[in-house]
Amino acid sequence: MDHPQTPRILAPHLQTFQHKIVRILGKVVQLRGETAVIDAGGQVDLILNRDCHLAVGHAVEIIGKVDQNLNVKVQAATDFGTNIDFTAASAVVDATHRYKEIFYDGD
Amino acid sequence: MSYQNNYDTTSYNNYGGGGGGGGGGFMPGEGSQNSPSGGRKEYKDDSLRPVTIKQILDAQAMGEEFKIDNTVISHLTFVGQIRNISKQATNITYKLDDGTGSIEVKQWVDSESVEQTNPATVRLIEGIYCRAWGKLKSFHDRKHVGAQIIRPVEDHNEVSYHLLEATAIHLYLTRGPPGGASGASAVAVNGGNQQQQAAGIGHNAYSLASYSAVAQRVYEHLRQAPQSNEGLHSQDIAAKLGIDTGDMTTAGDELLNGGLIYTTVDDQTWALLEAD
């Protein structure tokens, strides 16, 4: 499949999803040129690509690969604006892993 | 003269009768209303299910129909990101990806309205999230969705909302409505970690845990639906819950063998053995 499954996760799940492609919705905290920090149930360090256009304070949905240092190498970023209910978003992450039969295939 | 008089009266009555006959002319009208009601079974089964794309890809084909969570689907709605757009003369195919999988969504182009470009369609570009409504189709074992409507997602909270709604419906169909004994049984099925539950409910939940999801739904329906002391006919339960006859028989056998229900006026009419 050209578009692999990308389970929605938060910072605490990074360890479990090491070397996997994931989807993370978080709020941009800091931009540092080639890297950035978002808050997604904890701090997540991103390694950006050239196509990312992040804005501090905006919600952003990242698709990326978790590397060995638990940084996320960004493949795509979608701006979600400033009006995102992060409680709902974290409920989705909870549902994703609790009822994963409708969200992703286990190993 | 008296004869003539009678004749007049009679003819008047006849005329009235003719009017009644005109009323009878309404009968074919009623007949024609019956034929759509013959198709009402399908209409009753018509539903709009919020689903994840993984659920669509996992849908089981049942002849012409598809089932998700053992329930026949008709219309689906889902939210996904556009990965690819391919415009043809007769249709536009969008590849949608919601993180759980990806699927092609075909929207037929109305040749007469080609000139007037739909403003919503113009905003459907690669990378954005959109919501689609449509029906699942299968062509040479390849699934796609024939969409009536595709529109861009304006508020991205809709993505969370949709995934939570799809989860809620999935849980409703596989574990029964929230709350009540079925909720307790769902918990028991899930992990059995609720042993501190009140003894009565705990026992009930535990005893249901070994039954199939369909059997649990039938049991729950029998427990909650209004009924006489004759119970309910299995066909009525099947119709209400949208379960097919084969599954219904299996579920009935499970519950009968388990001693949770018993047959009343005939083999197909069941009541709960344990009155609440």
Residue B227 structural domain: 213-272
Q: Which residue do the tokens 């938060």 mark?
A: A10
Where do runs of H (alpha helix) occur along chain B?
Answer: 2-24, 26-38, 40-45, 53-58, 119-122, 157-175, 180-190, 199-208, 213-224, 234-241, 245-257
Cα(B67)–Cα(B52) distance, rounded to whole angstroms? Answer: 14
Task: Give B-chain residues touching A26 at CB under 8 angstroms.
Answer: none
Residues 6+ apart with CB under 8 A from B64: none
- Split into its structural domains, chain B has a count of 2
- Are B224 and B134 part of one and the same domain? no
Domain range summary for chain A, segments of one domain joined by +: 8-93
Interface of A with B (CB under 8 A): 1-3, 5-8, 23, 59, 61, 76, 78, 80-81, 83-85, 88-89, 91-92, 95-96, 99, 101-105
- Are B55 and B169 part of one and the same domain? yes
For residue B150 the two structure tokens come to 């595709």
- Are B155 and B238 part of one and the same domain? no
Q: Which long-range contacts (CB under 8 A, 24 or more apart) does B22-29 make?
A: none
What local confidence, expressed as pLDDT, does residue B116 receive? 61
Q: How many CB atoms lie within 10 A of CB B113?
A: 9
Type of residue at B6: N
Interface test with B, best of A1, A2, A3 (most B CBs within 10 A): A3
What mean pLDDT, rounded, does chain B reach?
A: 77
CB contact at 8 A, B216 and B175: yes
- Domain end (from B175, B203, B222): B175
Cα(B245)–Cα(B256) distance, rounded to whole angstroms? Answer: 16
Q: Would you say residue B200 lies in a domain?
A: no
CATH number of domain containing B262: 1.10.10.10
Q: Would you say residue B206 lies in a domain?
A: no
Cα(B183)–Cα(B29) distance, rounded to whole angstroms? Answer: 48
- Are B167 and B228 part of one and the same domain? no
| pTM score of the predicted model | 0.65
Q: Would you say residue B118 lies in a domain?
A: yes
- Domain end (from B175, B205, B223): B175
End-to-end CA distance of chain A: 16
CATH number of domain containing B105: 2.40.50.140
Share of chain B above pLDDT 70, in %: 70
Q: Would you say residue B198 lies in a domain?
A: no
For residue B269 the two structure tokens come to 């009419």
Share in percent of chain B as helix, strand, coil (round to 5): 45, 25, 30
- Domain end (from B175, B193, B228): B175
Average of per-residue pLDDT across B213-240 = 86
CB contact at 8 A, B103 and B143: yes
CATH number belonging to the domain at A8-93, selected among 2.40.50.140, 3.30.450.20, 2.40.50.100, 2.60.120.10: 2.40.50.140
For residue B256 the two structure tokens come to 């009968």
Q: Quick one: angle between helices B245-257 and B213-224, nearest 10? A: 80
What mean pLDDT, rounded, does chain A reach?
A: 95
Q: Would you say residue B72 lies in a domain?
A: yes
Q: What is the pLDDT of residues A56-70, one digit of tens each?
A: 999 999 999 999 999
Q: Is the pLDDT of residue B24 over 70?
A: no
What local confidence, expressed as pLDDT, does residue A63 receive? 97
- Are B53 and B169 part of one and the same domain? yes
Interface test with A, best of B51, B71, B76, B100 (most A CBs within 10 A): B100
Cα(B104)–Cα(A90) distance, rounded to whole angstroms? Answer: 28
- Are B154 and B238 part of one and the same domain? no
